[in-house]
Amino acid sequence: MIKETFSNKKKLSAELGFGNKNYNESVRFLNQDGTVNIKRKISDKHMGFDLYHWLLSITWLQFITLVIISYVGVNTLFAIIYFGLGADKFGGLVGGASTENFSKLFFFSAQTLTTVGYGHIYPNSGSTSSVSAIESMLGLMGFALVTGLLYGRFSKPKADIQYSNNAVIAPYIDNTGFMFRIANKKQNELIETECKLALAINNLETKKREFHFLELERNQINFLPFTWTVVHPIDDKSPLFGLSEKDIIERDAEFVILIKSITDTYFQTVYSRMSYKPHEVIWNAKFTPMKQTPQRNGGITINIKDIHDYTKVTMN
Amino acid sequence: MIKETFSNKKKLSAELGFGNKNYNESVRFLNQDGTVNIKRKISDKHMGFDLYHWLLSITWLQFITLVIISYVGVNTLFAIIYFGLGADKFGGLVGGASTENFSKLFFFSAQTLTTVGYGHIYPNSGSTSSVSAIESMLGLMGFALVTGLLYGRFSKPKADIQYSNNAVIAPYIDNTGFMFRIANKKQNELIETECKLALAINNLETKKREFHFLELERNQINFLPFTWTVVHPIDDKSPLFGLSEKDIIERDAEFVILIKSITDTYFQTVYSRMSYKPHEVIWNAKFTPMKQTPQRNGGITINIKDIHDYTKVTMN
Amino acid sequence: MIKETFSNKKKLSAELGFGNKNYNESVRFLNQDGTVNIKRKISDKHMGFDLYHWLLSITWLQFITLVIISYVGVNTLFAIIYFGLGADKFGGLVGGASTENFSKLFFFSAQTLTTVGYGHIYPNSGSTSSVSAIESMLGLMGFALVTGLLYGRFSKPKADIQYSNNAVIAPYIDNTGFMFRIANKKQNELIETECKLALAINNLETKKREFHFLELERNQINFLPFTWTVVHPIDDKSPLFGLSEKDIIERDAEFVILIKSITDTYFQTVYSRMSYKPHEVIWNAKFTPMKQTPQRNGGITINIKDIHDYTKVTMN
Amino acid sequence: MIKETFSNKKKLSAELGFGNKNYNESVRFLNQDGTVNIKRKISDKHMGFDLYHWLLSITWLQFITLVIISYVGVNTLFAIIYFGLGADKFGGLVGGASTENFSKLFFFSAQTLTTVGYGHIYPNSGSTSSVSAIESMLGLMGFALVTGLLYGRFSKPKADIQYSNNAVIAPYIDNTGFMFRIANKKQNELIETECKLALAINNLETKKREFHFLELERNQINFLPFTWTVVHPIDDKSPLFGLSEKDIIERDAEFVILIKSITDTYFQTVYSRMSYKPHEVIWNAKFTPMKQTPQRNGGITINIKDIHDYTKVTMN
């Protein structure tokens, strides 16, 4: 819920946490995909690196490549150890060339790591038995980590919100309003969806960047089966009141959106964020109502692609 | 907590998120099982499909069938690969007919995928060893996903709320009230249970669908050991005030219930939702008090089936 | 946070959810261990039984016994199937008496279910290979469920609150107060601990059971390193004002305590509940301050057993 | 959100939960790493020991050592049992010296526990088969616990907050302010970060320790991409108003910080806490602004090490 009023001068800046520095060129704090456009550099890399976060946030291709490389790497390593201990310390390896034995020990390692353990090759001495006992333990724990991450990535909660490509300045009641539309891209339901809208804008007098929360006609919705048109009425209390299209470009405005919701898959709270820059705001336009098609089974269908559609209007 | 007052005209519609379109026929937003009766059509299927959500929401029969088909399918696939590489590349496969070998390679695949690895058949060349090394790795990860889903389905938190089959319009203090009863169907305890009640109704003048939150005599309860009779007093501030049974049918009313609670199994927040349509509302009836039977051990027993019972009353 | 004021007559009853029925004998809603002393009887057992909740709430002894019985049972079942298919369909089983073969097939089943698969006995026909392929798959999924439950039981969040054996009515500021003490029994820290205190008491006039929330001097505490003495001041606004020890016995009072906290192990919200009956309330007594022993390392030690100690006082 | 006002005398103490005892020497309630500097002694050790919490909070070195010792220990135990039952009850163990057999049975145990089961040694009697059937079951469940803990440790949510080494008393608006800086040490984003600041200080008159919440210029921030300078303005309502550096040393002050935030990895709520003692507070100093370096890709980089930098200022 939005409780900030900004009546107090000293609270004008930095509520969002982006600081009030006025970069002399256009900056974008939030990328369109919701990631923050700021990097923290941490000199002592070991301290700052969050392996878990990184393994959850890399792409699936990177993750799978990493798993395969690790699997081959670990097996190569153990094959070298086994080979160093001596191929004659293994039952089932009768003579054979060195390269053939190495290859067989590589696969013996894979059979140990995955605990498949066919047994046609087996450790036949204390040293090789010890190493394979360690390897099978490492295998169990390593695969548990990998599969934990795999499931963690798979089940990671997210608010898959579709935002309209543009925000519009449209007629609203007796005046105009700043509007954008959102919809749920997934088949699950989002409940108790809340929205906050903030404006980051340069103050030409103080040469500082200011932040204002924009009051919404409604900031919570119980269900999101169709789309939700979020509306900020541009009345005389609005920081946008009296500003023209040219003004918000000159003052490098950014409209920052924070969405909080609950997915009904596991009743997890999820967050989504996005921002519009002035060139993504269409003036004197309104959103085309979504076409709602009744189905034979009594349900109603919408096409989520219609969310971007708007029509130009003449404003008084 | 319900803070909306609806004193403001522009807030009358769409708080629930169902929009204010007046379909000229009767619509039901929420099915009796709490699912939303609206489908989002997403043209690019790949984008919108949520595999995880789907695997958690299909029935157990569908899930188990899918697991078995996948298991047979993957083993068939690997059997084909092994057979293509050559049955002579396996130890333990002496001669034998092609079909017999294929069948044996199918079971070898199953023994590799599950890592049981008896070893009476084993890969005896680089190519077959490589494929089985891949298969055992895939097996570990695939079964981890399947068992993660299995446990996820098994442990999925839910509010298993039993709603009375009907709501009633019953005498309440000096007037009448809209009432329904809920109980916990499960053996766990539900704590801090909250209820919201909303009314969706067509406005005959504006030809739009309106939404009103209905004030409750009480919207939170700390324990739910027996039943909870949720009461909306129909006083002069109620949107139901003065409406007759005929009115709510004509105006296609829907009473939407949102329940939020915490299960004490894992202290997870869970949600439940339901709706009553006019034909499920009994006028001039009151719920029969639940029979509470003291037990020898000092406890009190109720029969949850009694929750639906009501008796007709004469109203003034 | 406690917001209920009970100034409104119609809100006097049932806030806790225990109903306002006045049983003519003494009842206890909450047991001392926090379980609710009320059973829900559900006729259709299949509907109401929550296997997951049950498996998490049985004792460790019951859980382990169940696992062992299931393990032996499943292996016996598969041994019967394998034996029925024919011991000659297995490699490694040479002749031997029937009982010996059955015993060997029982252990073959165990080796398949756990995927240890030594391979000295192995399925040697399509039928036995198929059944063992099914068994190893079931084994993987079954053990995943069991170990998921094992870990779920092990990691189940709980507020392990030590309550003082008795509550006391002690001098407090200018008057008296109802007090009890709590401490954290575990080595983890509880943060942001909140307390609600309610009084269930028979109304001798209306013959109904009433519920009152009792205002606390403080209802939240940020840390709980020592003990917290929760105090309800018995001032003229208190429902206890003017009541004697005899009164609360006659009127079958029950002091219901609801604790909500966050463990810092995983930052999970946990709940605890307890109740005191009149015979557990000591009148004219105050708690003995906990002895705080400074340690060499700069820390302070308390002995949690002291929490129950009180001394009788003379009241004016 | 901070709602406490402390206008009420009886609320002056103990809100934090540290009690109001004035130890005659300097005490520190919170260590710099956020752990609580108080030990609870519990006489009945079995009752109070929380194995799960302990296994999650020991260091990685301790955890891994424990796993290795357990692995060797369990295998030694089972080797003793197998050896006691007789090496002749195993297939694959032909004659051999006792020590060699014992060593082989040790590795057989490891192969059973990890379910790798090569099978070159296998149980050949009812007794040894039974024990190994139990061992493989224990192995599955034991490794599931270990790997669950491993993943639990790995994925444990935490707010990895970097606090400035010192707090400063710096000029602020028309007066001075107590300030410290925080930043996110990790690559994930912290959203909706909240801060509470409390002061623990001895009251020289009452000889008791008092607690005061210090009002912050701002107590929530939506993003934390850079640093957040938390400011308590020392105006005439502040408990610090009029106190000198000497005063806060004499009165053994401790500034206790409570941070609550949400990580965007899994949208988990995390907590962090820290405290400053008087020798860590620099008077008449202000923080050096963090250097923000624009990058080619449009992002902005900060060096988190700069967070500690301050410069002395002359105060009026």
Which among A116, A189, A226 has CB closest to B115? A116
Q: Do A160 and B27 touch (CB under 8 A)?
A: no
Contact assignment for A116 to B136 by CB distance below 8 Å: yes
Region for C134 from its dihedrals, namely left if φ exceeds 0, alpha if ψ lies in -120 to 50, beta otherwise? alpha
Higher-confidence position of B72 and C144: B72
Q: In Å, what is the CA distance from C235 to each residue of B34, B125, C241, D40?
A: 47, 88, 6, 34
Scanning A243-300, the segments in alpha helix (DSSP H) are 245-250
Are D31 and D176 found together in one domain?
yes
Q: Residues B138-142: what's their mean pLDDT?
A: 89
D177 and D292 belong to one structural domain: yes
Q: pTM, whole model, 2 decimals?
A: 0.78
Coil, strand, or helix at residue B158?
coil
Mutate to test the interface with B, among C40, C42, C138 (most CBs of B within 10 A): C40
Chains that touch B (3 or more CB pairs under 8 A): A, C, D
- Do the chains contact at B270 and A265, CB–CB below 8 Å? no
In whole angstroms, give the CA distance from residue C265 to residue C189: 8
**Which of B112, B132, B156 is opposite residue A266, by nearest beta carbon?**
B156
B102, B118, B122, B191: best to mutate for the C interface, most C CBs within 10 A: B118
**Is the predicted pLDDT of residue B13 greater than 90, yes or no?**
no
Question: Which pLDDT value is given to residue B46?
Answer: 44
Q: Strand, coil or helix: what is B306?
A: helix
CA-based nearest distance A301→chain B, Å: 5
Q: What CATH number did the domain enclosing B80 receive?
A: 1.10.287.70
Q: Count interface pairs B-C at CB distance under 8 A.
A: 174
ipTM confidence score:
0.71
| pLDDT range class, residue C2, cuts 50, 70, 90 | very low
Task: Decide if C266 is inside a domain.
Answer: yes
Query: Tens of pLDDT along C92-115?
Result: 887 777 888 899 999 999 999 999
pLDDT per residue over B161-170, tens digit each? 889 999 999 8
Handedness of CA C160, B259, C23, C20 (dihedral sign): positive
Q: What pLDDT, on the 0 to 100 scale, is given for residue D220?
A: 87
- Domain termination residue (choose one: B103, B129, B155): B155
Q: Are B113 and B205 part of one and the same domain? A: no
In this model, does residue B62 exceed pLDDT 90? yes
| Residue scoring higher pLDDT (D136 or C21) | D136
Reported as a single tens digit per residue, the pLDDT across C255-304 is 989 898 888 777 788 888 888 999 999 999 999 988 877 776 666 777 88
* Angle subtended at Cα A182 by Cα B17 and Cα A27, rounded to the nearest 5 degrees: 145
Nearest chain D CA: its distance from B132 CA (Å): 15
Whether residue B283 sits in one domain with residue B244: yes
- Residue B222 is part of a domain; what is its CATH number? 2.60.40.1400
Is D177 contained in some domain?
Answer: yes
| pLDDT > 70: percent of chain B | 84
pLDDT of B218-256, one tens digit each?
A: 888 888 878 899 999 999 999 999 999 999 999 889 898
Q: Within 13 Å and on the Cβ side, how many CA atoms surround D176? A: 19
Assess if residue C60 is contained within a domain. Answer: yes
CB contact under 8 A, A145 and D150: yes
**Number of structural domains found in chain D:** 2
Rg (CA), chain C: 29
Considering the domain boundaries, does residue C58 fall inside one?
yes
In a domain, residue A213? The reply is yes
Which of C:255-314 have CB within 8 Å of A?
none
Q: What is the mean pLDDT of chain C?
A: 83
The full length of chain A comes to 316
Mean pLDDT for all residues in chain A: 82
Whether D163 and D102 map to the same domain: the answer is no
Nearest to C146 among D50, D141, D269 (CB): D141
Question: Is B119–D115 a contact, with Cβ atoms under 8 angstroms apart?
Answer: no
Mean pLDDT of C5-17: 44
**A148 close to D (CB below 8 A):** yes
Higher pLDDT, A46 or D168: D168
DSSP 8-state code for residue C124: -
Determine the structural domain holding residue A192 and report its residue range: 9-39+158-312
Give pLDDT tens digits along chain D (316 positions): 233 333 333 343 446 766 666 666 666 777 777 677 766 665 554 444 678 878 888 888 999 999 999 999 999 999 999 999 998 899 888 777 788 889 999 999 999 999 998 889 999 899 999 999 999 999 988 888 888 888 888 877 777 888 999 999 988 888 899 999 998 887 778 888 899 898 988 888 887 788 888 999 888 888 887 889 999 999 998 999 999 999 999 988 989 898 988 887 767 888 888 889 999 999 999 999 888 777 766 667 778 888 999 999 886 5
Q: Which residues of D touch A40 (CB under 8 A)?
A: 183-184, 187, 225, 301-302, 304
**Per-residue pLDDT tens over the stretch D225-259:** 788 999 999 999 899 999 999 999 998 898 989 89
Q: Are residues C169 and C297 in the same domain?
A: yes
Average pLDDT over residues C119-136: 92
Over residues A185-213, the pLDDT tens digits come to 877 788 889 998 989 888 888 877 888 88
Please report residues of C whose CB lies closer than 8 A to that of A117.
117
- For residue D31, tell me if it sits in a domain: yes
Touching C (3+ Cβ pairs <8 A), the chains are A, B, D
Please compute Rg for chain B using Cα positions: 29
Nearest to D298 among A37, A111, A152 (CB): A37
The reply to whether B43 falls in a domain is no
pLDDT number for residue D20: 67
* Chain B positions in Cβ-Cβ contact with residue D117 (cut-off 8 Å): 117
List the 125-144 stretch of A: residues with Cβ below 8 A of D.
Answer: 126, 129-130, 132-133, 136-137, 139-141, 144
- Spell out the residues 6+ positions from residue B228 whose beta carbon is closer than 8 angstroms to its own: B181, B182, B183, B193, B195, B221, C17
- Residues B136 and A111: beta-carbon distance below 8 Å: yes
Write the Ramachandran bin of A258: left for phi over 0, alpha for psi from -120 to 50, otherwise beta. Answer: beta
Instruction: Return the number of CB contacts < 8 Å for B and D.
Output: 5
Specify the pLDDT at position C245: 92
pLDDT tens sequence across B79-132: 999 999 998 899 888 777 788 889 999 999 999 999 999 989 999 889 999 999
Query: Nearest Cβ partner of A225 from B18, B111, B122?
Result: B18
Together in a domain, A290 and A198: yes
Distance CA A162, CA A175 (A): 27
Residue D64 lies in a domain: yes
* Chain B CA closest to residue A141: B140
DSSP class per residue in C152-193: HHHH-----EEEPS-EEEEEETTEEEEEEEEEE-SSSPEEEE
Tens of pLDDT along B250-288? 988 989 898 988 887 767 888 888 889 999 999 999 999
Residues 1-30 of B with CB under 8 A from A: 10-11, 14-19, 21, 23, 25, 27-29
State the smallest CA–CA distance between residue D227 and chain C in angstroms. Answer: 24
**Whole-number pLDDT of residue B4:** 34
> Choosing among B33, B53, B214, which should be mutated to test the A contact, i.e. which has the most A CBs within 10 A?
B53
The pLDDT-based confidence of C7 (bands split at 50, 70, 90) is: very low
* Chain D residues 49-108 within an 8 A CB cutoff of chain C: 49-54, 56-57, 91
pLDDT of residue A24: 62
Q: Is C245 exposed, middle or buried (0-12, 13-18, 19+ CB in 10 A)?
A: middle
Chain D hits for B115, CB-CB cut-off 8 Å, are: 115
The stretch A19-31 carries a mean pLDDT of 68
Output the average pLDDT for chain B: 83
Q: Taking the CB of residue A10, how many other CB atoms lie within 10 A of it? A: 11
Place of tokens 């202000």: D286
Q: Is the pLDDT of residue A215 over 50?
A: yes
Instruction: Measure CA of the first residue to CA of the last residue in chain B; give whole Å.
Output: 33
Of D117, D148, D218, the CB nearest to A15: D218
CB spacing of D118 vs B119 below 8 angstroms: yes
Q: Quote the minimal CA–CA distance from A18 to chain B in Å.
A: 32
Q: What pLDDT is attached to residue B2?
A: 31
Mean pLDDT to the nearest integer, A120-142: 91
Percent over 90 (pLDDT), chain B: 35
Name the residue facing A299 among B39, B139, B258 (closest C-beta). B39
One-letter identity of residue A27: V
> At A72, is the pLDDT very low, low, confident or very high (cuts 50, 70, 90)?
very high
Element counts in chain B: helices (H) and strands (E): 6, 17
Find, in chain B, the residue whose alpha carbon is nearest to that of A173.
B10
Residue % of chain C over a pLDDT of 70? 84
More confident residue, C17 or C171: C171
Inter-chain touch B301–C39, beta carbons under 8 Å: yes
Would the CB atoms of C188 and D53 count as touching at under 8 Å? Answer: yes
Verify that B30 and B86 share a domain, yes or no. no
Residue B14 and residue A265: Cβ atoms within 8 Å? no
Distance between CA atoms of residues D234 and D252, nearest Å: 19
Cβ of C136 within 8 Å of Cβ of B294? The answer is no
* Co-location of C164 and C131 in the same domain: no
Please give, rounded to a whole number of angstroms, the shortest distance from the CA of B269 to a CA of chain A.
7
Length of chain D: 316
Domain limit, last residue, from D98, D122, D155: D155
Distance from CA of D258 to the nearest CA of C (A): 9
Per-residue pLDDT of C218-244, as tens digits, reads 888 888 888 899 999 999 989 999 999
**Domain limit, last residue, from B155, B178, B205:** B155
- Asked which of A89-93, A186-190, B103-107, C168-172 is least confident by mean pLDDT, the reply is A186-190
**C186 and C174 together in one domain:** yes
D225, A18 Cβ separation under 8 angstroms: yes
Q: Are residues D107 and D233 in the same domain?
A: no
Within this chain, do residues C81 and C172 fall inside the same structural domain, yes or no? no
A-C contacts (CB, under 8 Å): 5
